[in-house]
Chains A and B, each alone.
Chain A
Amino acid sequence: MITLDILRTRFSALEVDDLQRWIGEGYVRPERAADDLLFEEIDVERVRLILELRDVMQVNEEALPVVLSLLDQLYELRRRLLRLGIEPNAAS
Chain B
Amino acid sequence: MADDPYKTLGVARGASADAIKKAYRKLARQHHPDLNPGKPEAEAKFKAVSTAHDLLSDPERRARFDRGEIDADGQEQAPAGGYRRQAEEAQGARYGQAGNSGAFEDMFADIFESRRRADSAPRRGQDESYRLNVPFLDAVQGDTKQLTLPDGRVLSVKIPPGVVIGQVLRLRGQGGAGRNGAPAGDALIELDVADHKLFQRDGNDLRMELPVTLKEAVLGGPVVVPTPTGPLRVTLPAASDSGRTIRLRGKGVAAHGTRVAGDLFLTLRVVIGKPDAALEAFLRDWAPEDPEDPRAGMEASE
Chain A to chain B contacts (Cβ below 8 Å), 11 pairs: A5-B115, A16-B116, A20-B108, A24-B105, A29-B95, A42-B87, A42-B91, A49-B82, A56-B28, A58-B25, A79-B88
Complex alpha-carbon distance, A69 and B251, angstroms:
79
Given A48-B78, A79-B92, residue A74 in contact with residue B83 (CB < 8 A): no
Q: Describe A's contact surface by its main secondary structure.
A: helix
Are A27 and B99 interface neighbours, CB within 8 A?
A: yes
Are A16 and B112 interface neighbours, CB within 8 A?
A: yes
Are A82 and B94 interface neighbours, CB within 8 A?
A: no
Are A78 and B105 interface neighbours, CB within 8 A?
A: no
Are B92 and A42 interface neighbours, CB within 8 A?
A: yes
Which of A32, A48, A74 makes the CB contact (< 8 A) with B82?
A48
Are A45 and B86 interface neighbours, CB within 8 A?
A: yes
Q: Does A71 contact B (CB under 8 A)?
A: yes
Q: Does A61 contact B (CB under 8 A)?
A: no
A-B contacts, CB under 8 A, total: 121
Are A71 and B35 interface neighbours, CB within 8 A?
A: yes
The A33-92 residues at the B interface (CB cut-off 8 A) are 35-37, 40-46, 48-49, 52, 56-58, 65, 68-69, 71-72, 74-76, 78-79, 82, 88-89
Q: Does B224 contact A (CB under 8 A)?
A: no
Complex alpha-carbon distance, A71 and B36, angstroms:
10
Given A74-B37, A78-B38, residue A25 in contact with residue B102 (CB < 8 A): yes
| Residues of A in contact, count (CB < 8 Å) | 42
Are A29 and B104 interface neighbours, CB within 8 A?
A: yes
Q: Which residues of B contact A6 (CB under 8 A)?
A: none
The contact string, 1 if C-beta is below 8 Å from chain B, for chain A 14-30, is 00100110011111011
Which of B28, B96, B100 makes the CB contact (< 8 A) with A57?
B28
Are A72 and B86 interface neighbours, CB within 8 A?
A: no
Q: Does A2 contact B (CB under 8 A)?
A: no
Complex alpha-carbon distance, A74 and B37, angstroms:
9
Q: Which residues of A contact B3 (CB under 8 A)?
A: none
Are A36 and B111 interface neighbours, CB within 8 A?
A: yes
Given A74-B37, A82-B88, residue A35 in contact with residue B110 (CB < 8 A): yes
Given A29-B95, A79-B88, residue A23 in contact with residue B105 (CB < 8 A): yes
